[in-house]
Amino acid sequence: MKMSITRAADILLRGGVIAYPTEGVYGLGCLPDNHDALLRLLRIKQRDPDKGLILIASSAVQLQDWIDLQDGKQIPTPDPALPITWIVPASCTVPALVKGSNAGLAVRITTNHTAAAICDATESPIVSTSANIAGQATARNRIALRRQFGRLVDYIVPGDCGPASGASEIRDLITGKTLRPRPE
């Protein structure tokens, strides 16, 4: 696993796009401060840039430069089986391609060991968007992932999704409102 994490980190640091396992689905990602990689990722996914993207990190510390939490607010400690993506106030330096037309920024502290190791190896949060073409089903296994994205991404990181069973719930950290419920 260590070699695959090192390879993924090297590709990301050089501006590449990878596919990798997360808590519940496979994701497509790049470094959030690389404009060309963000554009490429959006083209691969055929995603509207106005929708914005999620950043995942191995810890809240990795998100400090990306978010603007005040009044003692903190991103809650994640539950491995029930991942939650939080909408939080964005730092003024977050690129428009990451934030989209949204007022807030979507972030998650990942509990998937492979995804967390990639964040640690790059010393950065990474973009995490589900591995699917916009509007189509998400790749649920490595065979489907390779078939759909094998020639479009620079590397498919070996590893399994888990421990959740699908996409994360999305909540607004400030209001507590659930924006996307947990999949059943």
Domain that holds residue 151: 2-180
- Whether residue 127 has pLDDT greater than 90: yes
Average pLDDT over residues 92-113: 96
The pLDDT, as a whole number, for residue 177 is 95
Question: In the 8-state DSSP scheme, what is residue 79?
Answer: B
The pLDDT, as a whole number, for residue 162 is 84
The pLDDT, as a whole number, for residue 119 is 98
Which CATH number is 34's domain given? 3.90.870.10
The pLDDT, as a whole number, for residue 184 is 65
The pLDDT, as a whole number, for residue 10 is 98
Average pLDDT over residues 80-94: 93
Local structure of 57: helix, strand or coil: strand
Question: In the 8-state DSSP scheme, what is residue 83?
Answer: -
H or E stretch covering 127: strand 126-130
Of 3-17, 58-72, 120-134, 136-150, least confident by mean pLDDT is: 136-150
- Whether residue 170 has pLDDT greater than 90: yes
- 132-142 burial, b for 16+ CB within 10 Å, e for fewer? beeeeebbeeb
Average pLDDT over residues 8-14: 98
Overall domain count for the chain: 1
Pick from 161, 14, 176: nearest CA to 80: 161
- Strand 54-57, strand 104-109: pairing: parallel
Residue type, 9: A
Average pLDDT over residues 12-19: 98
* Mean of pLDDT over the chain: 94
pLDDT per residue as tens digits for the range 41-86: 999 999 999 999 999 999 999 999 999 998 888 999 998 888 999 9
- Whether residue 109 has pLDDT greater than 70: yes
**Dihedral sign (CA 181, 182, 183, 184):** negative
Angle, nearest 10°, between helix axes 2-13 and 113-122?
50
Question: What global pTM score does this model have?
Answer: 0.95
